[in-house]
A and B are shown apart, each in its own frame.
Chain A
Amino acid sequence: MVKSTSKDAQDLFRSLHSAYSATPTNLKIIDMYVVFAVFTALIQVAYMALVGSFPFNSFLSGVLSCVGTAVLAVCLRIQVNKENKEFKGLGFAGEFDSRQYALVLLGLVHRDCELGMGINWSLFPTANTIN
């Protein structure tokens, strides 16, 4: 029973790996970016758990902006993916422009949240020692 499940698991991972390596390179780049953004958000959460959430503004803006760029990158991937039949003829550049609006808004809001406490280091939590 265990052997069959472990064999199944190995087969599963192999098939996942082979299917994933078939995706085009630009989509893989987007995926890497998403993983990096989520990783940064997780680091911030761990930091907050360690040090305490006192300037909650900076925590909130940092985490939500990381998650935000991840989400927007996923949206970009959805729209650019050629296998997605619902988005035809838009192409990489067109969607990039729409995404720019969203990113600009995210950046403005992020800056606004930070300035609420006058901190500029929320994306680099290790330097966040002064008020």
Chain B
Amino acid sequence: MAAVESLPPGTPSAMRNAFGTVLSALILVLIGVLAFSIRLFSVIKYESVIHEFDPYFNYRVTQFLSKNGIYEFWNWFDDRTWYPLGRVIGGTVYPGLTLTAGTIWWVLNSINIPLSVETVCVFTAPVFSAFASWATYLLTKEVKGSGAGLAAAALLAMVPSYISRSVAGSYDNEAVAIFALIFTFYLYIKTLNTGSLFYATLNAIAYFYMVCSWGGYTFIINLIPMHVLLCIVTGRYSPRLYIAYAPLVVLGTLLAALVPVVGFNAVLTSEHFASFLVFIIIHVVALVYYIKGILTPKMFKVAVTLVVSIGLVVCLIVVAVLVALVASSPTGGWSGRSLSLLDPTYASKYIPIIASVSEHQPPTWPSYFMDINVLAFLVPAGIIACFSPLSDASSFVVLYIVMSVYFSGVMVRLMLVLAPAACIMSGIALSQAFDVFTGSIKYQLSSKSKDNAEDNTSTKNAPKDDASSGKTDKGEEVSKERSSKKGKKKEREPAEKLSVKSKIVKKKALVLPLEASIVALLLLIMLGAFYVIHCVWAAAEAYSAPSIVLTSQSHDGLHVFDDFRESYAWLSHNTDVDDKVASWWDYGYQTTAMANRTVIVDNNTWNNTHIATVGTAMSSPEKAAWEIFNSLDVKYVLVVFGGVIGYPSDDINKFLWMVRIGGGEFPHIKEADYLRDGQYRIDSEATPTMLNCLMYKLCYYRFVETDGKGYDRVRRTEIGKKYFKLTHFEEVFTSHHWMVRIYKLKPQKNRIRGRVKKLKQKTSSGVSSKSVKKNPWM
């Protein structure tokens, strides 16, 4: 770069550099536009609506923030969920996403662009994916150069794994967090390369933004210490490493402790201990290098023996204290989610709620190809290219991809963290490949023209000799000068030819034949074309469904199933503001956001016992369920049923989790009671407990009236019990395609005939059945 600055502006290489800068800026703008537009399929195919479940909660929080301001937001106690417990929103939500969208909305409104909060929320994710691809360009430029950077940015703009979590409408934490992740890594590498404290400070601020945005920040605070340790162990310690790491730990921990969700966990939980341990290690290493620098080698050996003998004793004491501290807590200080990452079988044994989320299952092999496509086999080439000069930055990206491959193998949701690493590696591989091929083509073409040029110069020399020999004194003098010049030239030429020949020999080793390079270049371009086609298909067909609106193509056209919104609208118009609605936890966020009613449990799943209560109620017979719901002040029960149209994610398919989670807390719910031959069945072979439980009754009440036979399209059988009445619930709403059914709790009767006799019978039977586990609600 210094050579360029010293050149006068008109020289060809300076012009080429300026042209290159303008061209790469233009390419980056196009990449940003591409990243934004490929995520707009859902808006075009459906409408500008918030997708899925979690984004509705974020949308509701952003609405609250925009209406009431930031102080109310920090102190917000939400009493419309987890009735009667409530939820402290200010202390349990990662504020980065909502604050970002709120700021964008406020800025736009203050310059008189009146976008609604919903529009801002829907389009936040595509905008930040454009930023993320620019951040990938910056990061890869630090590792390998701007060619690799542009390739990596173009790949990240389209990679399906990232698209799946950042389409327009997917207003979730990852939309902003992936940008923060890549930007933090870029600033870390930049600090490592330059050793400037300014970038170290920016790195700490970017890390703070990451902590605000996503729980996955623990990945950063464990990956960077691992990289520092790797550098130390492989002998690449340098003062720049210290400057890159030590301020980040101190400033980063302080900043992380400021976010209310994290709070004191920043210094107390095991997820952060790696960073403190490596902090101590890097100080020790720095001290050792310093002393090594100022002492003679003999003295240094003495110092080492002295320190090792004393230090070992001290170390053992400290380690023993630490181990005792960590072992005193039941999980060794790790949170449940982190433990399930380290030991994939942990969640299924101890925390069924974490195991039940489909995103937390391990991915299958086809899902790798679906999500990162061509990059899956460009990554190994990139890893090799990173080793050809191994620098601190390239060792970091190698470590990043290895760690992210491991974690993506544990949880499908973490394929998202793999995507930027895969794009960086593939960008490096593609750029190196293009370099080799275009270099060979250039060399081959130029060597062909050079052969022609050499022939010309040799023919030119011959006539000159003839001309000079046949001339007068002047000519002789001139020829002498010429011959001397030619002599000098010829002397220089052999010398140049020797150096050029050595260069040629070197280049020839790397140079490929012309036809092979051209064919390889064309094949690489075709590979890129296949990747683009796949990405656009994935974005359009696979990842654009909003899940709140379903469509299906049939012989008589397009059917739209808008049952969810229909039922939430019914709830908000036909019930009182303070009525409580009970449903399975999946629908909690949507109910509070769209229907604006208080719910019992929602997607935050922070209280396992409360969820188990609802699960027990759904698995119990009608009277017991009525008692449980009445004790929670519930007025309406909502179930989702897909049997009429064949919607597979309905409550009957989720019923096994209700039984398991409920049975985990209340032992009178035994899973074996609901299983026939190890399977949950709803047909005539089902167990009587299953046929009597509330979920079965609420889903299949009057189902036989739809087709006369009660044929369930999802389970593909006829149901077992077809004609029955509900005694404690009454049906108040069933949506158009029977997808959502809402029931009201019947009030208790004033007088029950024969009740006194029943009470006497109960007390006599209660004495004899003490060994049986009693239902706590009876």
Task: Confirm or deny: B75 has a beta carbon within 8 angstroms of a beta carbon on chain A.
Answer: no
A102 to B200, Cβ gap below 8 A?
Answer: yes
**B239 and A86: CB pair below 8 A?**
yes
Task: Give the total of B residues in contact with A, Cβ under 8 Å.
Answer: 34
Q: Say yes or no: B295 contacts A75, CB within 8 Å.
A: no
Whether the pair B243, A79 counts as a contact (CB closer than 8 A) is yes
Contact of B201 among A20, A56, A74, A105 (CB under 8 A): A105
Chain A, residues 4-36, CB within 8 Å of chain B (1/0): the string is: 010011011001100110100000000000000
Q: For the complex, what is the distance from the CA of A67 to the CA of B255, rounded to whole Å?
A: 14
Q: Are A9 and B295 in contact (CB under 8 A)?
A: no
> Does B498 belong to the interface (CB within 8 Å)?
no
Chain B residues contacting A68 (CB-CB under 8 Å) are 247, 250-251, 254
Report the bound CA distance from A67 to B295 in whole Å: 27
Inter-chain CA distance A111–B294, complex, in Å, is 39
A120 CB, nearest partner CB in chain B, Å: 17
A45 at the interface (CB under 8 A from B): no
Distance A8 CA – B294 CA, assembled complex (angstroms): 17
Q: Is A101 interfacial (CB-CB < 8 Å)? A: yes
Residues of A near B7 (CB, < 8 A) are: none
CA distance A33 to B239 in the complex (A): 19
Is residue B86 within 8 Å, beta carbon to beta carbon, of the partner chain? no
**Would you call the interface of chain A mostly helix, strand, loop, or mixed?**
helix
- Asked whether, in the complex, the Cβ of B251 is within 8 Å of the Cβ of A60, the reply is no
State the Cβ distance, B308 to closest chain A Cβ, in Å: 13
Q: A9-B302, A74-B242, A79-B195 are in contact. Are A113 and B201 (CB under 8 A)?
A: no
| Measured CA separation A105–B198 after assembly (Å) | 11
Residues 153-175 (chain B) with a chain A CB within 8 angstroms: none
Structural contact, B196 and A98, CB atoms closer than 8 A: yes
**Chain A CB within 8 A of B204 CB:** yes
A12 touching B197 in the complex, CB below 8 Å, given contacts A68-B251, A78-B243, A113-B257: no
B253 interface residue (CB < 8 Å to A)? yes
Fill in one digit per residue for B745-764: 1 if any A CB lies within 8 Å of its CB, else 0: 00000000000000000000
Report yes or no: B264 in contact with A112, Cβ–Cβ below 8 A. no
Given A15-B295, A56-B264, A78-B242: A102 in contact with B247 (beta carbons within 8 A) = yes
**Partner of B205 from A8, A11, A15, A105 at Cβ < 8 Å:** A105
Pick the residue among A5, A95, A109, A113 that contacts B251 (CB under 8 A).
A109
A109 to B211 alpha-carbon distance, docked (Å): 15
The residue from B198, B293, B299 contacting A98, defined by CB atoms under 8 A apart: B198
Assembly CA distance A112 to B200 (angstroms): 20
Q: CB distance A109 to B254 under 8 Å?
A: yes
Cβ-defined partner of A75 (8 Å) among B247, B253, B255: B247
What is the chain B residue whose CB lies nearest that of A78? Answer: B239
Among B462-497, those with CB < 8 Å from A are: none
Please report which residues of chain B, range 294-315, place their CB below 8 angstroms from some CB of chain A when the two chains form the complex.
294-296, 299, 302-303, 306
User: Chain A residues near B286 (CB, 8 Å)?
Assistant: 74
B282: min CB distance to chain A, Å: 10
CB atoms of A64 and B243 under 8 A apart: no
Contacts of B306 in A (CB 8 A): 5, 8-9, 12
Check B67 for interface membership: any CB of A closer than 8 A: no
Chain B positions within 8 Å of A95 at CB level: 197
Which residues of B sit under 8 angstroms from A75, Cβ to Cβ? Answer: 197, 200, 242-243, 246-247
Minimal beta-carbon separation of A103 from chain B (angstroms)? 9
Interface pair B255/A109, CB less than 8 Å apart = yes
**CB-contact partner of A60 in B239, B257, B299, B303, under 8 A:** B257
Task: Considering the complex, give the chain B residue whose CB is closest to the CB of A90.
Answer: B196
Which residues 71-91 of A sit at the B interface, judged by CB distance below 8 A?
71-72, 74-76, 78-79, 83-84, 86-87
- A9, A15, A113 — most chain B CB neighbours (10 Å): A15
B89 within 8 A of A: no
Q: How far is the CA of A60 from the CA of B253 in the complex (A)?
A: 10
For chain A, the bracket of interface size reads: 35 or more
Interface centre among A16, A61, A64 (most CB of B within 10 A): A64
Q: Which residue of B lies closest to A71 (CB)?
A: B246
B258 contacts the other chain (Cβ, under 8 Å)? yes
The verdict on B17 contacting chain A, using a C-beta distance below 8 Å, is no
The answer on a CB contact under 8 Å between A12 and B299 is: yes
Closest chain B residue, CB of each to CB of A104: B201
A119 within 8 A of B: no
Chain B residues lying within 8 Å of A87, measured Cβ to Cβ, are 195, 239
B238 within 8 A of A: yes
Contacts of B253 in A (CB 8 A): 64
The residues of A that contact B255 with a CB separation of less than 8 Å are: 109
Q: In the complex, A15→B296 CA distance in Å? A: 9
Contacts of B254 in A (CB 8 A): 60-61, 64-65, 68, 106, 109-110, 113
A16, B303: Cα distance in complex, Å: 10
Asked if B291 is at the interface (CB within 8 A of a chain A CB), the reply is yes
Residues facing A in B262-301 (CB within 8 A) are 264, 267, 286, 291, 293-296, 299
The minimal Cβ–Cβ distance linking B32 to chain A, given in whole angstroms, is 28
Q: How far, in angstroms, from A110 to B247 measured CA to CA in the complex?
A: 14
Asked whether A20 and B195 contact (CB < 8 A) given A75-B242, A109-B258, the answer is no
Q: How far is the CA of A106 from the CA of B258 in the complex (A)?
A: 12
Bound CA–CA A5/B308 (angstroms): 14
In this complex, what residue of A is CB-closest to B243? A75
Q: How far apart sit A79 and B296, CA to CA, in the bound complex (Å)?
A: 24
How far is it, in angstroms, between the C-alpha of A98 and the C-alpha of B243 when the chains are bound?
A: 12
State whether A79 touches B258 (Cβ < 8 A): no
Chain B residue with the shortest CB-CB distance to A75: B243
Chain A residues contacting B299 (CB-CB under 8 Å) are 11-12, 15-16
Q: Using Cβ atoms and an 8 Å threshold, which residues of chain B touch A72?
A: 197, 247
CB-based contact B267/A60 at 8 Å = yes
User: Is B240 at the interface (CB under 8 A from chain A)?
Assistant: yes
Please determine whether A12 and B198 come into contact, CB atoms closer than 8 angstroms.
no
CA distance A22 to B763 in the complex (A): 94
Chain A residues lying within 8 Å of B243, measured Cβ to Cβ, are 75, 78-79
Q: Is A105 a contact of B291 with CB atoms below 8 Å?
A: no
A107 to B243, CA, bound (A): 19
Instruction: Find the A residue at minimum CB distance from B248.
Output: A71
Q: How far is the CB of B307 from chain A (nearest CB, A)?
A: 10
The interface residues of chain B lying within 8 Å CB-to-CB of A110 are 254
- B250 to nearest A CB, angstroms? 4
A46 shortest CB reach to chain B, Å = 16
- Residue of A whose beta carbon sits closest to that of B199: A98
Measured in the bound complex, the distance between the Cα atoms of B303 and A9 in whole Å is 8
Chain A residue numbers with a CB within 8 Å of B302 are 8-9, 11-12
Question: Are B197 and A71 touching (Cβ within 8 A)?
Answer: no
Q: Specify which of B197, B238, B247, B250 is in contact with A79 (CB 8 Å cutoff).
A: B197
Residues of chain A contacted by B195 (CB below 8 angstroms)? 78-79, 86-87
- Beta-carbon contact of B250 and A67 below 8 Å: yes
Distance, CA A16 to CA B267, complexed state (A):
36
Assess whether A16 is in contact with B251, with CB atoms less than 8 Å apart.
Answer: no
Within 8 A of A (CB), among B218-256: 238-240, 242-243, 246-247, 250-251, 253-255
Q: Which residue of A lies closest to B196 (CB)?
A: A98
30 pairs, CB–CB < 8 Å, chain A vs chain B: A5-B306, A8-B302, A8-B306, A11-B302, A15-B299, A16-B294, A19-B294, A60-B264, A64-B253, A65-B254, A67-B250, A68-B254, A72-B197, A72-B247, A75-B197, A75-B243, A76-B197, A79-B195, A95-B197, A98-B196, A99-B197, A101-B198, A102-B197, A102-B251, A105-B201, A105-B205, A109-B254, A112-B258, A113-B257, A113-B258
Given contacts A67-B250, A79-B243, A109-B258, 11 further A-B contacts (CB under 8 A): A9-B306, A12-B302, A16-B299, A22-B294, A74-B246, A75-B200, A78-B242, A86-B195, A86-B240, A101-B197, A112-B258
Report the 5 A-B pairs with minimum CB-CB distance, sorted nearest first: A19-B294, A98-B197, A68-B250, A98-B198, A78-B239
B residues near A (Cβ < 8 Å) are: 195-198, 200-201, 204-205, 238-240, 242-243, 246-247, 250-251, 253-255, 257-258, 264, 267, 286, 291, 293-296, 299, 302-303, 306
